[in-house]
Amino acid sequence: MPRDPLIGIVGKPSSGKSTTLNSLTDAAAQVGSFPFTTIEPNKATGYLQVDCVCGRFGKQALCKPNYGWCSNGKRHVPIMLLDVAGLVPGAHSGRGLGNKFLDDLRHADALIHVVDVSGTTDAEGKNTRGYDPLYDIEWLQDEIRLWIEGNLEKRWGSIVRRHTATKSSAVDTLQAQFGGYGSHAPMVQRALHRIRGLPPLEQWDKEWITKVVRSFMIEKFPTVLALNKIDHPDADKNVSKIMLKYPETKAVLASAVTEVFLRKLKKQGFVHYEEGTEFVDTFEDDPDGLKPLDDKLLQRIENIRDLVLYRFGSTGVVQVLQAAAGVLDLVPVYTVRNIHTFTGGHGENVFRDCFLIKRGTPVGKVARYVMGEVTIAAVETVGGVRVSEDDVVDAGKNDVLSFKLAPKSVN
């Protein structure tokens, strides 16, 4: 049965993890400019913005999610986030919060790596100038790799002996080792398949093991780079360097501190601000609906418009989470009682339930995920069309589902 996706937020101290998390969640993670403000890993509910299916059927006015919210067809779907604190170079050998950090990581399905592109904090999060953030991407990947490799190498002798004695496949042997990271056989299979010229497992030396672990990490920890602090003047050149060096990695430009600031002003009634967009209205735009700002704050908004919103199209924070859902290939799937009205049974509100499901998951698996181990008599999609348990979900296809349960047998 699939479980709820979990997205880990990683990054060195003071890169802006807590600020990013704050702007994605309702949780009040502590924000501070000192390393290790966040001591305990912090699980929180983030909200992923998606185009809600209610728009497809002109039902925006009746859309009322059980969890999260929907406004004008923009739905905010809850998704679990994990704030992973205290990673510094050397963590795999116990520095900083070391292995604790890495152990928390094993539960994550994808990572958002918050990178401070201002160059004003060093690898340990201490204030500096002109630091090259390319290095952060490298050492963070290395720490995760060395941690996995270390766990593997400790037992390598007995792993190989057992592998040979039981005549297992490389996939089975590795899956037995990687299961603790939440892997599954197809994931290990894909990781091995990617490596050219891979010899039989009993011939792997340190170099081959490194290649295998690197490839496994691509599967287990697909990563989005949140290039944070783009409001800083030195950010541009660092962003270009990162994009050039990692053209394959999904990267999103962000200013988490700007997002937090705008949301705060919105809550206090000073601005209209739609998260994920470049639009901020002030008192001048809506004197009847908004409170006036003093000159200092007005100037700050002007700067934010020039330095962030108009240049990049948004603060980027909403897009960071969307990118993470993208690398996991998650599709919002809506389950309804009545497939013709889209209601949940009683009342006229529609599309109350939405689940984030990996594209390509069979409908039967979705049913068990949503309903538990019950016997499904039939599954229907839009128009009352029957779908088989083996049909798969995709964006816009089999993404609205109604499950009919088999009546319980009476003995």
Ligand X SMILES: Nc1nc2c(ncn2[C@@H]2O[C@H](COP(=O)(O)OP(=O)(O)OP(=O)(O)O)[C@@H](O)[C@H]2O)c(=O)[nH]1
Q: Whose Cβ is closer to ligand X: residue 65's or residue 125's?
A: 125
Q: Does 246 bind ligand X (CB under 6 A)?
A: no
Q: Does 14 bind ligand X (CB under 6 A)?
A: yes
- 82, β-bridge pairs: 8, 43
Instruction: Please state the length of the chain.
Output: 411
Q: Whose Cβ is closer to ligand X: residue 101's or residue 204's?
A: 101
Q: Does 84 bind ligand X (CB under 6 A)?
A: no
Q: Does 319 bind ligand X (CB under 6 A)?
A: no
SS3 state of residue 178: helix
Q: Does 89 bind ligand X (CB under 6 A)?
A: no
Part in contact with ligand X (CB under 6 A); list of ranges 28-36, 60-68, 177-185, 351-359: 28-36
Part in contact with ligand X (CB under 6 A); list of ranges 189-197, 255-263, 283-291, 337-345: 255-263
Q: Does 18 bind ligand X (CB under 6 A)?
A: yes
Among 3, 33, 268, 269, binds ligand X (CB under 6 A): 33
CA distance 83 to 9: 5
Q: Whose Cβ is closer to ligand X: residue 257's or residue 356's?
A: 257
Backbone angles phi, psi at 277, to 5 degrees: -120, 180
- Joined tokens for residue 240: 């270009």
CA distance 274 to 271: 10
Q: Whose Cβ is closer to ligand X: residue 33's or residue 66's?
A: 33
Q: Which residues contact 138 (CB under 8 A, 6 or more apart)?
A: none
Among 8, 15, 174, 380, binds ligand X (CB under 6 A): 15
Q: Are 307 and 337 in contact (CB under 8 A)?
A: no
Q: Whose Cβ is closer to ligand X: residue 216's or residue 261's?
A: 261
Among 5, 7, 10, 17, binds ligand X (CB under 6 A): 17
SS3 state of residue 238: helix
Three-class HEC string of 169-214: CHHHHHHHHHHHHCCCHHHHHHHHHCCCCCCCHHHCCHHHHHHHHH
Q: Whose Cβ is closer to ligand X: residue 38's or residue 402's?
A: 38
The HSE-up count of residue 22 (CA atoms within 13 Å, CB side) is 20
- Joined tokens for residue 214: 């690197």
Among 5, 8, 13, 96, binds ligand X (CB under 6 A): 13
- Joined tokens for residue 138: 């490298």
Q: Does 98 bind ligand X (CB under 6 A)?
A: no
Q: Which residues contact 300 (CB under 8 A, 6 or more apart)?
A: 261
Q: Does 129 bind ligand X (CB under 6 A)?
A: no
Among 8, 65, 98, 125, binds ligand X (CB under 6 A): 125
Q: Whose Cβ is closer to ligand X: residue 15's or residue 402's?
A: 15
- Residue ranges of E strands in 311-375: 330-335, 353-358
Q: Does 8 bind ligand X (CB under 6 A)?
A: no
Q: Contacts with ligand X in 209-238 (CB under 6 A)?
A: 228-229, 231-232
Q: β-strands 280-281, 223-228: how paired?
A: unpaired
Look up residue 406 and give its DSSP letter. P
Q: Does 62 bind ligand X (CB under 6 A)?
A: no
Among 5, 8, 16, 222, binds ligand X (CB under 6 A): 16
Q: Of 92, 119, 122, 110, whose CA–CA distance to 13 is shortest?
A: 122
Q: Whose Cβ is closer to ligand X: residue 277's or residue 388's?
A: 277
Where do contacts with ligand X occur on this chain (CB under 6 A)?
11, 13-19, 31-33, 35-38, 85, 125, 228-229, 231-232, 255-257
